[in-house]
């Protein structure tokens, strides 16, 4: 176990247990669900995945906003533009809200990511 598969080593007690945790980077790309801070300052993050991130993604002009066919974002791209595309699929929508929900109340980025 070196941490590159679907599970990562977390902790153990000799003769009792080995605790593994899900490896979030195994099956999918790394996402950044900390969209912004409470002041709704574009590009500013507060290091926590919380309700403000839901609100920013759901702001008028952001939900279901799609990128142009050439890969650029519309001008203007909404209040937050591509910054709200948490899962990097070219759209701001329900999948971004779901990604935020999966990581709700987590510190972001996680310490293991910063250390690597």
pLDDT tens digits, one per residue of 83-92: 788 887 777 7
Q: How many other C-beta atoms can be found within 10 angstroms of the C-beta atom of residue 57?
A: 25
Tens of pLDDT along 23-40?
A: 766 666 678 899 888 887
User: 94 near 105, Cβ under 8 Å?
Assistant: no
pTM beyond 0.75, yes or no: no
Query: Tokens 């008028």 correspond to what residue?
Result: 60
Kindly report the backbone phi and psi dihedral angles of residue 2, in degrees, each rounded to the nearest multiple of 5, phi listed first: -120, 5
Lookup: tokens for 97? 């809200």
Retrieve residue 58's tokens: 């759901």
CB burial class (10 A; 0-12, 13-18, 19+) of residue 85? buried
Residue numbers of the chain with a pLDDT score lower than 50: 1, 116
């Amino acid at each position: 176990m070196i941490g590159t598969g679907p599970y990562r080593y977390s902790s153990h007690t000799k003769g009792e247990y080995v605790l593994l945790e899900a490896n979030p980077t195994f099956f999918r790309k790394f996402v950044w669900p900390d969209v912004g801070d409470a002041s709704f300052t574009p590009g500013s993050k507060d290091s926590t995945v919380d309700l403000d991130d839901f609100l920013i993604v759901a702001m008028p002009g952001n939900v279901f906003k799609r990128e142009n066919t050439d890969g650029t974002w519309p001008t203007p791209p909404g209040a937050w533009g591509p910054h709200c595309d948490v899962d990097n699929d070219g759209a701001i929508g329900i999948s971004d809200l779901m990604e935020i929900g999966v990581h709700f109340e987590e510190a972001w980025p996680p310490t293991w990511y910063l250390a690597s």
